[in-house]
């Protein structure tokens, strides 16, 4: 069986507090985009999990392997499998590629092994692998809170941007490094909370996504990697040229993707 494993974007990202375990509470909109890795899953003789293709050298640190092992242990089954990954999503780019791969393996093996776990049951397993993994189990655009695992499905995605222009500089930045250097301020703590109902109302009024706010991690990334700022300026210049609000040019997630969001297709 061959599966597409999609990337995601964060249309905004607010950091609300830091928990005692070191994780951060966030508030965001997660959207799936049509940039995919390809994962082939098949039966294999014996009980072993066999990893082939891209990133297989990571062995037990590989998220595809971790997902297969987690499902195998949860179900207490004795099946084996072969998982082959073909990467297209840039690695270390804040697009959720690894989390997406893990979720795709969970869903694929649930089908291959005929385990019949529900979506909610798979999301519980997914959360143990990584905070972003449950989103890819959900298979819908979502509001995300908590550490990213609390999801409210956006039922009508008509009001979200239709097209995305993504610039990925050849600069790898660790998500952990960015969060380690992020300074939580009083401004972050006292920012008014927008309820899920209010968010839905804002979208239904066709307000632009940047009405919700910015990416709180952007200044931290730029301070650590100043050369990134020129890429953002380039995106703003392109946006202005085509009548796209410059506020829509920003990072996604914790890393360095800059996004332009035209509401209809234009040749760039």
Q: How far is CA 31 from the centre of its chain?
A: 8
Q: Write the DSSP assignment of 33-84 as a string of letters.
A: EEEEEEEEEEEESSS-EEEEETTGGGGGG-HHHHHHHHHHHHHT---EEEEE
**Digit-coded pLDDT (tens) for 5-54:** 999 999 889 999 999 888 899 999 899 999 999 999 999 999 999 999 99
**Digit-coded pLDDT (tens) for 139-153:** 899 999 999 999 999
For residues 225 and 79, which has the higher predicted lDDT (pLDDT)? 79
pLDDT for residue 247: 74
Q: Report, as an integer, the average pLDDT of 132-142.
A: 95
| Percent over 90 (pLDDT), the chain | 50
The SS3 assignment for 205 reads coil
What confidence tier does 266 reach under pLDDT thresholds 50, 70, 90? low
pLDDT for residue 173: 79
Whether residue 253 is predicted with pLDDT greater than 60 in this model: the reply is no
Query: Which residue from 161, 143, 109 is spatially nearest to 266, judged by alpha carbons?
Result: 161
> Please, how many CA atoms are within 13 Å of residue 261, restricted to the half-sphere of its CB?
23
What confidence tier does 157 reach under pLDDT thresholds 50, 70, 90? confident
- Give the global pTM: 0.88
Catalytic annotation present for 241: no
| Percent over 70 (pLDDT), the chain | 90
**Choice among 54, 62, 132, 216 that is catalytic:** 132
Instruction: Tell me the domains of the chain and their CATH numbers.
Output: 2-152 (3.30.230.10), 157-260 (3.30.70)
Catalytic annotation present for 127: no
**Digit-coded pLDDT (tens) for 87-123:** 999 887 889 999 999 999 999 999 999 999 999 999 9
């Amino acid at each position: 069986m061959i599966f597409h494993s999609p990337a995601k974007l964060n249309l905004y990202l607010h950091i609300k507090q830091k928990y005692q375990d070191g994780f951060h509470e966030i508030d965001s909109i997660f959207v799936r985009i049509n940039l995919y890795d390809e994962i082939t899953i098949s039966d294999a003789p014996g009980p072993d999990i066999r990893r082939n293709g891209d990133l297989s050298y990571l062995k037990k640190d590989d998220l595809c392997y971790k997902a297969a092992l987690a499902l195998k242990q949860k179900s207490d089954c004795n099946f084996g499998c072969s998982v082959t990954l073909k990467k297209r999503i840039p690695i270390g780019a804040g697009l959720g590629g690894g989390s997406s791969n893990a979720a795709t393996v969970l869903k694929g093996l649930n089908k291959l092994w005929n385990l019949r776990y529900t979506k909610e049951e798979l999301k519980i397993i997914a959360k143990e692998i990584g905070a972003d993994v449950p989103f890819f189990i959900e298979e819908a655009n979502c509001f995300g809170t908590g550490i990213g695992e609390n999801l409210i499905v956006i039922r009508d995605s008509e009001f979200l941007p239709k097209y995305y222009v993504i610039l990925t500089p050849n600069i790898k930045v660790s998500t952990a490094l960015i969060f380690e250097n992020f300074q939580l301020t009083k401004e972050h703590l006292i920012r008014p909370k927008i309820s899920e109902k209010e968010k839905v109302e804002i979208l239904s009024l066709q307000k632009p996504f940047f009405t919700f706010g910015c990416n709180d991690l952007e200044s931290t990334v730029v301070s650590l990697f100043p050369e990134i700022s020129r890429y953002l300026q380039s995106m703003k210049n392109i946006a202005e040229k085509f009548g796209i609000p410059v506020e829509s040019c920003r990072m996604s997630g914790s890393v360095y993707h800059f996004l332009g969001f035209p509401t209809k297709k234009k040749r760039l």
